[in-house]
């Protein structure tokens, strides 16, 4: 299984919206609606932000939303805030109790 | 509030075996709702799923690491463990234990992580 593909970096100004993409294959992202997104601040553990493509855990602001089309999943952060600056990783279930992660996108709030 | 905490040596010599333990507190490791897993992150790089285990002992490993990885569970101690053999410098990473939720297939709880350096 290969890592999911994410752009290394993205940026946006406060208040703007930014969309991060995550491309997999027909064996992972394209085959399962079990894409999740994680936010990681420097020196901290990842935090689950989105699961099952578009569901938010309790406590995650509704500024974060997810979607999927074919083999590509997306995370949209609306109304960007300074605290949203972090690394974001996507992950997909790949069947047979296997998971695959993306390489991560560093989001900068300008 | 369930918490996960990794423990183990921070320095391992090349060719030796890396051993880490994750202690589950605030809840039981015996649950039909969760698996228990290990994920690592080399310095400055992305996340890599290593493997997972169910409380019954069923294990699942990343195919790229399968020949070197063993994950086990000790329900009496509420712990699960990772062993990675024949380590090299490429295995230097922050190792996280995490909890993948059955049916949602996402990691909803993470430990703080522990840095393991492979060096002589």
| CA dihedral angle for residue A33, residue A39, residue A45, residue A47, rounded to 10 degrees | -50
The 10s digit of each residue's pLDDT in A31-66 is 999 999 999 999 999 999 999 999 999 999 999 999
Residue B50: count of CB within 10 angstroms of its CB: 25
Confidence of residue A96 (pLDDT cuts 50, 70, 90): confident
Of A45, A48, A98, Cβ closest to residue B106? A48
The alpha-carbon radius of gyration of chain A (Å, integer) is 13
DSSP-based three-state secondary structure for B2: coil
* Contact residues on chain A for B37, CB-CB shorter than 8 A: 99
Q: What are phi and psi of A96, to 5 degrees?
A: 50, 40
The 10s digit of each residue's pLDDT in A17-32 is 999 999 999 999 999 9
* Contact residues on chain B for A91, CB-CB shorter than 8 A: 47, 49, 106-107
Residue B31 forms contact with A (CB below 8 Å):
no
A and B: number of Cβ contacts within 8 A = 69
| Region B78-104 average pLDDT | 96
First-to-last CA distance in chain B? 39
The 10s digit of each residue's pLDDT in A73-92 is 999 999 999 999 999 999 99
Residue B56 CB burial class (10 angstroms; 0-12, 13-18, ≥19): exposed
| Region B13-35 average pLDDT | 96
To the nearest whole angstrom, how far is the Cα of B89 from the nearest Cα of chain A? Answer: 20
pLDDT reading at A1 higher than 80: no
Distance, CA of B37 to CA of A82 (rounded, Å): 32
Cβ B25 vs Cβ B7: under 8 Å: no
Of B35, B46, B110, Cβ closest to residue A103? B46
Cβ A1 vs Cβ A94: under 8 Å: yes
Distance, CA of B110 to CA of B97 (rounded, Å): 6
Residue A58 forms contact with B (CB below 8 Å):
no
Percent of chain A residues topping a pLDDT of 70 = 99
* Contact residues on chain B for A102, CB-CB shorter than 8 A: 46
Q: Cα angle vertex A101, ends A98, A106, to 5°?
A: 170
Distance, CA of A53 to CA of A66 (rounded, Å): 6
């Amino acid at each position: 299984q290969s890592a999911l593909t994410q752009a290394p970096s993205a940026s946006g100004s406060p208040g703007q919206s930014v969309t991060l993409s995550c491309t997999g294959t027909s064996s992972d992202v394209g085959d399962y609606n079990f894409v999740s997104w994680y936010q990681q601040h420097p020196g901290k553990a990842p935090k689950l932000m989105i699961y099952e493509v578009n569901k938010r855990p309790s406590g995650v602001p509704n500024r974060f939303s997810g979607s999927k089309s074919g083999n590509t999943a997306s995370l949209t952060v609306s109304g960007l805030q300074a605290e949203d600056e972090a690394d974001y990783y996507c992950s997909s279930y790949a069947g047979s109790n296997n998971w695959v992660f993306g390489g991560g996108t560093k989001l900068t709030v300008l | 509030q369930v918490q996960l905490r990794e423990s183990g040596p921070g320095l391992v010599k090349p060719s030796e075996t890396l051993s880490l333990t994750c202690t589950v507190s605030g809840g039981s490791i015996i649950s039909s709702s969760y698996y228990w897993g290990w994920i690592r992150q080399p310095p400055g790089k992305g996340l890599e799923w290593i493997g997972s285990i169910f409380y019954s002992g069923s294990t699942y490993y990343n195919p790229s690491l399968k020949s070197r990885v063993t994950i086990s569970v000790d329900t009496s101690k509420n712990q699960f463990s990772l062993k990675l053999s024949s380590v090299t410098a490429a295995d230097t990473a922050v190792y996280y234990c995490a909890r993948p939720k059955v049916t949602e297939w996402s990691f909803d709880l993470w430990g703080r992580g522990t840095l393991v350096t492979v060096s002589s």
